[in-house]
Amino acid sequence: DTEVTQTPKHLVMGMTNKKSLKCEQHMGHRAMYWYKQKAKKPPELMFVYSYEKLSINESVPSRFSPECPNSSLLNLHLHALQPEDSALYLCASSEGQNGVQFFGPGTRLTVL
């Protein structure tokens, strides 16, 4: 199984809502990542988890809260988002030693 899955595929939320994005992989990878991608732009790194611990936070606003409940699962909790947070949110995982990151299909988020 070389797949990273993400749910939901699409999400529309209001600025006062609380929602969560979910990412799952069963490749035994110990590093997992969240990226944000605006239209016609490259992905930008948000968070990195290594061995279930947060190792990198790229100065992301606190309205985004990552969580890694176990080695296969990565969540991104969303609260009080702004319309400019509308984007494609990509999850990736990496075995670590060979450098390759495998990406999920993404969640298209729209904040109204």
Partner 1 sequence: AQTVTQSQPEMSVQEAETVTLSCTYDTSESDYYLFWYKQPPSRQMILVIRQEAYKQQNATENRFSVNFQKAAKSFSLKISDSQLGDAAMYFCAYRSATTGGGADGLTFGKGTHLIIQP
Residues of this chain that interact with partner 1 (CB under 8 A) are 30-31, 33, 35, 41-45, 48-51, 55-56, 58, 88, 90, 92, 94-106
**Backbone dihedral region for residue 106 (phi beyond 0: left; psi -120 to 50: alpha; all else: beta):** left
Judged by DSSP in three states, 83 sits in helix
CB of 71 to partner 1, least distance (A): 13
Closest approach of partner 1 to the CB of residue 80, in Å? 25
Beta carbon nearer to partner 1, 16 or 59: 59
Which residue lies nearer to partner 1 by CB, 79 or 103?
A: 103
Q: How far apart are CA 41 and CA 54, in angstroms?
A: 25
Q: Which is nearer to partner 1, 60 or 80 (CB)?
A: 60
- How many CA atoms lie within 13 Å of 92's alpha carbon, on the beta-carbon side? 21
Phi–psi pair at 23, nearest 5 degrees = -135, 140
